Amino acid sequence: MTDSKISKDLFLSILAMDAYNRGYDAGIADGEGDTVVDSDGNLIDKDGLGLAGKQVGAAIVLNVPLPTDSEANSFYALSYEITGDNAPEGLAGKTVVSFRGTDNLNPFSNWFGDGMWDPGTGFLLGAGDIEVPQASLSHAFYSDVLASTTGGASAEDIILTGHSLGGGDIADGSGF
């Protein structure tokens, strides 16, 4: 008999991509085309994925706000609660934090109100500069998730994932 559950690594990869497609500047919900009011009364892009309370597989998007100045610095992250019978092995009951990677390479982005570009606020993480804005924001978000987890979960109950620059955010978010 074949195991119908997807692997832990594959699921974490999906969640790493999911962070690009929710919230502000979402890749799929692109602000174009028709909008609709969802079941919660929120106006969303028809092609959007939705925010807190929405589900992707065994993951439910939690309602943890981004830290102050996240948008101005092109930082975005999501947290999920992994639950249900379909949870990949090793993830059931855990909280996953997914950091969005590079999605803003326009040096003029700040001029049309889209926050600073990623190279200016995050790329130096790769060179070991842990004082760039996205580094402190990733750490703040991780700390908020840890503090808000019910039952006072420990750091071992929180799994981090991310793609591209999101990987750098992971390094800082977890405090190495």
Partner 1 sequence: MKYFLIILAVLGLFFLSMFGWVSVKYRLTMTVDTPDGPRTGSVVRREGYGFTGLPSEIGGGHKWNTQGEALVLDLGGGKYVFALLSTSLAAGSFDAAGRLADWRGSPPNFYYAFLGLKWFTYGSVPVPAHKMPLLVSFADINDPASVFRVDPKDMAASLGEGYALRDMQVEITWARMTEGRVEEVLGWLGQYPELPLLPKVDPHDFSFAAKMRQGQFIRRPN
In the set 7, 10, 63, 129, which binds partner 1 (CB under 8 A)? 63
In the set 13, 136, 148, 174, which binds partner 1 (CB under 8 A)? 148
Distance separating alpha carbons of residues 79 and 99, to the nearest angstrom: 9
Choose between 111 and 176: whose C-beta lies nearer to partner 1: 111
**Torsion over CA of 22, 26, 29 and 31, rounded to 10 degrees?**
130
| Residue 6 touching partner 1 (CB under 8 A) | no
| Residue 103 touching partner 1 (CB under 8 A) | yes
Binding residue count for partner 1, defined by CB under 8 A: 51
The residue written with tokens 């009951």 in the block is 93
Nearby residues of 54 by Cβ (< 8 Å), 6 or more positions away: 22, 60, 61
Residue pair 80/17 in contact (Cβ under 8 Å)? The answer is no
**In the complex, which residues of this chain contact partner 1 (CB under 8 A)?**
24-25, 27, 30-37, 40-43, 51-53, 62-72, 79, 81, 102-116, 118, 145, 148-150
